[in-house]
């Protein structure tokens, strides 16, 4: 019954969305305010139906209704509750529904927040958002209906005189069938792959989806601006924050995916340049480029055309990535069902890209995308930002070529299949990333219009000295590789610039205002969240960069078989095998084999680790190797249990990695996410009295109010 409600709501949500499209466009063309409002309300009704529909599937999952085919295929009675919730994105049908739900959610919130401030854009924006919603919910409905249930058709009597049945799946009960027993179905349900039962995997897909789907809003605003011809700065203002929101989730999704790979896959790495990973990285690159170049349009009225290309291109990259990963276009280690949705997705990607490009060209020919200023100096902030964009685009092209371009081109024109391996990415991307880091050090210090070299030099002096001090610290700790030191130096500079510029802003406030240091810092962030949030993101990126260089260049590994009491040594650590706990049975039916290991440094015990192997006898008899890790800021001692002598476990084989500085990646990610939240946070959240104080420039009042 509940599945039928979900199914019906999905259909109704599509009907309402189509109504919203038609009515909004008509209202805009005829300037009919009543109809425009009706279109707006339809967006909310669409969301209500989508929420009901998704809620029904979620409810079926949580209450273990295995008569729903989707529930049967992604969950099982022995699964912990968290993964019963997350099973909604466990497979194609559910994830498509969830994706449509998120699109509808973003549309509803965007309309709610921006209806008044972006009144002129909204009707067309609604149309573009709803077209996308209709496409994805239609895809769910037609190709991957998650509300299908199992039904039994009697086929005859077997030799034992028992009634035999065929099991079929259908959304509505076909005539002549009977309902199967839920408890019988529960016995055969196998549940989520053990590898996916990890907190990173529970939150990585929704974060990624929120990121992907979030780019719909800026895309719709850009298209609405083009369609209405209202190409003032309004659409940019509205799009910018939405892009930041999407960027926040996309970054989080990428980070969680890396963390999951590091924890679960047991190869000591976090990024493999696999096409599916790259498909998620591509919109991140264009989105990041846009977040930089949008500043030039806001401040100088330049790059209007280019910003359009970036916003539309980012959403186009999202849809392309969805198409490429779900159609089996390229061979990836991530497996997705090769379903029939490939062609519709390709069609949708192709038409939206064509439409976007066509509208940009149309408005350009009318002169509506002409820049208000010209580039006057090669050495100005706007030129450096353009350089930043060029390098982001170069990375985009390089990653696209490596993951999709080369395989597709060779298949089409050379009649062979050529893939570019990790070697390609390791050779092409580091110089581009380093170039970005150099710009991250210089661009924030340059001035609009033109910068004199001597002024820039003066501003760079302090961060440069701090960078040298950092390198000194690395050398004191025994770093001798010149190449690595250059890398660390380039990466550090941007971080020091961010810290130093924040400090200078803080100093300036302290000079002018009589307030406590903490109040100064808070006011600094409150008055200019984008600027100082941005510096925080830069600092986070620097910390991540140091972590990547350290863990990539200086990873050490060894493997050894140890008897009880024996130890191995690697990178200044000693690892002693103490004992073995075999055959531990957990509540959810796993069987654990655990080795107890002591990590020593200079003769002192620093950690007890329990690397283990989980065996899932209830599922598909799979195993899962869980590393034991001793994490410090300096490095991770990452221990894998490879094998043991049967029964006695008198000797055990370990594989041990030392991953230097790897935790900086997670800490830097934390700083980056925090900075993005700062930068995105709406100023309206600041209490009205404080805002008043800010406007009147009375800092004592603001400080007293705790701003």
Partner 1 sequence: MTATWEKSKIDASSPAAGSNRWQFLAGGLIMLVAIGYLILSGTATGARYFITVSEVVNDPQYVGQTVRISGAVVGETIQYDEMNLILDFTIAHIPEEFDDPAFALYQAVNDPEVARLPVHVSGQVKPDLLKHEAQAILTGAINEDGIFYATELLLKCPSRYEESHPHQSQTGTSQTGTSQTGTEG
Applying the rule CB under 8 A, the residues between 555 and 574 that interact with partner 1 are 559, 561
Task: Compute the distance between CA of residue 602 and CA of residue 609 in angstroms, rounded to an integer.
Answer: 18
Site string for partner 1, 530-549 (x = CB under 8 A): --------------------
Strands (E) across 545-619 are located at: 556-563, 567-570, 573-585, 591-601, 604-609, 612-615
Task: Compute the distance between CA of residue 277 and CA of residue 324 in angstroms, rounded to an integer.
Answer: 11
What are the angstrom distances between the C-alpha of 266 and each of 260, 508, 591, 629, 668? Answer: 10, 49, 19, 11, 22
In a 10 Å sphere around its CB, with 0-12 CB exposed, 13-18 middle and 19+ buried, how is residue 477 labelled? exposed
Q: How far is the CB of 404 from partner 1 (least distance, A)?
A: 13
52 binds partner 1 (CB under 8 A): no
User: What pairs with residue 630 in β-bridges?
Assistant: 637
| Non-local CB neighbours of 105 within 8 Å, separated by 6+ positions | 47, 50, 51
244 binds partner 1 (CB under 8 A): no
User: H/E/C letters for each residue in 641-673?
Assistant: EEEECCCCCCEEEEEEEEEECCHHHHHHHHHHH
Between 50 and 386, CB nearer to partner 1: 386
Q: Which of residues 287-346 bind partner 1 (CB under 8 A)?
A: 303, 305-306, 309, 313, 328, 331, 333-339
Q: What are phi and psi of 145, to 5 degrees?
A: -70, 115
Q: How far is the CB of 541 from partner 1 (least distance, A)?
A: 21
Between 248 and 420, CB nearer to partner 1: 420
Q: Which of residues 425-444 bind partner 1 (CB under 8 A)?
A: 425, 427-428, 431-432
Between 119 and 184, CB nearer to partner 1: 184
Pairing of strands 604-609, 163-170: unpaired
| Non-local CB neighbours of 684 within 8 Å, separated by 6+ positions | none
659 binds partner 1 (CB under 8 A): no
Q: Which of 234, 643, 670, 677 binds partner 1 (CB under 8 A)?
A: 643
- Spatial contact of 559 and 655, defined as CB atoms under 8 Å apart: yes
Q: Which of 620, 634, 692, 698 binds partner 1 (CB under 8 A)?
A: 620
Q: Which of 158, 477, 565, 587 binds partner 1 (CB under 8 A)?
A: 158
152 binds partner 1 (CB under 8 A): yes
Size of the site for partner 1 (CB under 8 A): 97
378 binds partner 1 (CB under 8 A): yes
Q: How far is the CB of 111 from partner 1 (least distance, A)?
A: 29
- Spatial contact of 181 and 226, defined as CB atoms under 8 Å apart: no
| Non-local CB neighbours of 46 within 8 Å, separated by 6+ positions | 13, 16, 17, 20, 104, 107, 108, 130, 133
Q: Which stretch binds partner 1 (CB under 8 A): 20-28, 124-132, 376-384, 467-475?
A: 376-384
Q: Which of residues 132-151 bind partner 1 (CB under 8 A)?
A: 150
Task: Compute the distance between CA of residue 561 and CA of residue 563 in angstroms, rounded to an integer.
Answer: 7
Return the sign of the alpha-carbon dihedral for residues 451, 452, 458, 463.
positive
Task: Compute the distance between CA of residue 407 and CA of residue 424 in angstroms, rounded to an integer.
Answer: 13
Q: Which stretch binds partner 1 (CB under 8 A): 54-62, 165-173, 315-323, 596-604?
A: 165-173
| Non-local CB neighbours of 574 within 8 Å, separated by 6+ positions | 567, 568, 599, 600, 601
Q: Which of 37, 195, 512, 650 binds partner 1 (CB under 8 A)?
A: 195
- Take residue 576 and report the two structure tokens written for it: 């002693």
Q: Which stretch binds partner 1 (CB under 8 A): 231-239, 412-420, 579-587, 678-686?
A: 412-420
Q: Which of 30, 366, 584, 623 binds partner 1 (CB under 8 A)?
A: 623
Return the closest-CA partner of residue 341 out of 524, 97, 130.
Answer: 97
Q: How far is the CB of 531 from partner 1 (least distance, A)?
A: 25
Between 24 and 75, CB nearer to partner 1: 75
Q: Which of 125, 207, 276, 296 binds partner 1 (CB under 8 A)?
A: 276
Q: How far is the CB of 337 from partner 1 (least distance, A)?
A: 3
Between 248 and 303, CB nearer to partner 1: 303
Q: Which of 374, 511, 604, 695 binds partner 1 (CB under 8 A)?
A: 374
Between 187 and 692, CB nearer to partner 1: 187
Q: Which of 142, 418, 508, 633 binds partner 1 (CB under 8 A)?
A: 418
Q: How far is the CB of 545 from partner 1 (least distance, A)?
A: 19
642 binds partner 1 (CB under 8 A): yes
* Cα-based angle 393, 398, 403 (whole degrees, multiple of 5): 125
22 binds partner 1 (CB under 8 A): no
């Amino acid at each position: 019954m509940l599945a039928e409600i979900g199914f019906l709501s999905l259909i109704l949500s599509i009907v309402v969305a189509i109504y919203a499209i038609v009515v909004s466009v008509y209202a805009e063309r005829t300037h009919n305010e009543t109809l425009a409002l009706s279109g707006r309300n339809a967006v909310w009704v669409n969301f209500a139906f989508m929420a009901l529909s998704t809620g029904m599937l979620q409810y079926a999952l949580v209450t273990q209704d295995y008569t729903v085919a989707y529930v049967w295929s992604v969950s099982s009675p022995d699964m912990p509750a968290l993964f019963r919730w997350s099973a909604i994105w466990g497979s194609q049908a559910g994830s498509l529904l969830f994706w449509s739900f998120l699109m509808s959610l973003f549309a509803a919130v965007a309309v709610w927040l921006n209806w008044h401030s972006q009144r002129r854009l909204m009707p067309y924006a609604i149309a573009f958002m709803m077209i996308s919603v209709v496409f994805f919910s239609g895809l769910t409905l037609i190709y991957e209906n998650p509300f299908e249930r199992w039904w039994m058709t009697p086929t005859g009597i077997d030799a034992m005189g028992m009634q035999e049945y065929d099991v079929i799946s259908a959304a509505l009960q076909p005539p002549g069938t009977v309902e199967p027993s839920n408890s019988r179905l529960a016995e055969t349900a196998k549940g989520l792959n053990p590898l996916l039962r990890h907190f990173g995997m529970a939150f990585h897909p929704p974060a990624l989806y929120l990121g992907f789907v979030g780019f719909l809003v800026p895309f719709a605003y850009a298209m609405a601006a083009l369609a209405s011809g209202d190409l003032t700065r309004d659409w940019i203002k509205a799009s910018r924050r939405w892009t930041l929101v999407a960027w926040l989730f996309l970054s989080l999704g990428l980070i969680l995916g890396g963390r999951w790979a590091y924890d679960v896959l047991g190869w000591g790495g976090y990024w493999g340049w696999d096409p599916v990973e790259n498909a998620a990285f591509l919109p991140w690159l264009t989105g990041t480029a846009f977040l930089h170049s949008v500043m030039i349009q806001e401040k100088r009225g330049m790059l209007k055309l280019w910003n359009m290309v970036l916003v539309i291109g980012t959403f186009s990259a999202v849809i392309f990535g969805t198409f490429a990963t779900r159609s089996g276009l390229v061979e990836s280690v991530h497996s997705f069902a090769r379903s029939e949705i490939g062609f519709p997705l390709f069609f949708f990607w192709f038409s939206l890209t064509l439409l976007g490009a066509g509208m940009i060209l149309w408005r350009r020919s009318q002169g509506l995308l002409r820049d208000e200023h010209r580039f006057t100096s090669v050495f100005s902030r706007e030129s450096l930002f353009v350089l930043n964009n060029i390098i982001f685009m170069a990375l985009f092209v390089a990653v696209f070529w490596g993951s999709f371009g080369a395989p597709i081109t060779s298949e089409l024109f050379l009649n062979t299949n050529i893939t570019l391996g990790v070697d390609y990415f390791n050779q092409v991307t580091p110089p581009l990333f380093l170039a970005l880091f150099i710009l991250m050090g210089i661009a924030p210090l340059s001035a609009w219009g033109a910068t004199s070299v001597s002024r820039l030099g003066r501003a760079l002096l302090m961060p440069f000295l701090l960078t040298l001090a950092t390198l000194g610290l690395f050398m004191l700790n025994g770093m001798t590789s010149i190449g690595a030191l250059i890398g660390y130096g380039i990466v550090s500079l941007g971080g020091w610039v961010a810290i130093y510029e924040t400090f200078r802003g803080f100093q300036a406030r302290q000079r002018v205002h009589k307030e406590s240091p903490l109040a100064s810092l808070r006011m600094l962030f409150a008055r200019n969240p984008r600027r100082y949030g941005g510096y925080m993101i830069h600092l986070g990126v620097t910390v991540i960069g140091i972590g990547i260089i350290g863990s990539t260049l200086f990873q050490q590994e060894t493997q050894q078989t140890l008897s009880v009491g024996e130890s191995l040594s690697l990178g200044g650590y000693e690892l002693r095998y103490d004992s073995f706990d075999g055959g531990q049975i957990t509540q959810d039916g796993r069987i654990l084999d655990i080795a107890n290991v002591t990590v020593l440094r200079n003769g002192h015990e620093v950690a007890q680790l329990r690397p283990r192997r989980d065996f899932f006898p209830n599922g598909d008899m799979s195993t899962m190797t869980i590393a034991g890790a001793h994490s410090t800021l300096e490095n991770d001692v990452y221990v894998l249990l490879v094998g043991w002598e049967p029964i006695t476990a008198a000797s055990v084989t370990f594989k041990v990695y030392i991953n230097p500085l790897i935790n900086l990646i997670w800490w830097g990610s934390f700083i980056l996410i925090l900075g993005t939240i700062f930068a995105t946070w709406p100023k309206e959240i600041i209490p009205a009295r404080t805002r008043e104080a800010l406007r009147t420039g009375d800092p004592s009042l603001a400080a007293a109010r705790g701003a």
